Amino acid sequence: MNAHEVEQKLLQGPYHQWLGLKVFNVAEGEITLQVPFRAEFVVNPAGGYIHGGILATLIDLAADWALVAWTQKGVPTLNLHVDYHRPARGDLTVSAKVIKHGKLASSAEAWIHDAEGRLVASGRGLYATPVTQGVA
């Protein structure tokens, strides 16, 4: 799947549309998303930083869609781990890469960088790998 095809599928979800996701790049087992800042992302108006739940969502989405772009099938999340490195502000770039593609489960890692290129969060997910039709 190319970036345009992935973006069309990704943006079928209303939540994904609300997030303002743009697919910047897709390669086999890899994806890069761009996320424009929204005032609704802010958890603390005094600090102006983005809620950790939004960052966790972006980690999960990017890791998940790195697999979807490769397998062309949905991959439900089984487990997710997120590390927060610094307060996130402004536009974000999320990159993800498949680490292991297995028969029953696959793993992928993701990294979120701010507009200055600083790592703000990273994480990894475990996803149920779709079983090929006819295989038990």
What pLDDT, on the 0 to 100 scale, is given for residue 3? 87
Per-residue pLDDT tens over the stretch 83-131 = 999 999 999 999 999 999 998 999 999 999 999 999 999 999 999 987 6
Instruction: Confirm whether 119 is domain-assigned.
Output: yes
Enter the DSSP assignment of 112: E
Q: Residue 72 falls within a domain, yes or no? A: yes
**Looking at the domain assignment, is residue 14 inside a domain?**
yes
Residue 106 falls within a domain, yes or no? yes
78 inside domain: yes
Could you tell me the pTM of the whole model?
A: 0.91
Mean pLDDT in the chain?
92
Range of the domain at 102: 3-128
134: in domain: no
DSSP 43: E
Domain with residue 51: its CATH number is 3.10.129.10
81 belongs to a structural domain: yes
- Given a cut of 50, whether residue 133 has pLDDT beyond it is no
Interatomic CA distance for residues 77 and 1, integer angstroms = 21
Count how many domains the chain has.
1
- Tell me the C-alpha to C-alpha distance, in Å, between residue 101 and each of 4, 39, 58, 71: 23, 37, 20, 10
Residue 33 has phi, psi (to 5 degrees) of -115, 145
CA 104 to chain centre: 20
> Does residue 133 belong to any structural domain of this protein?
no
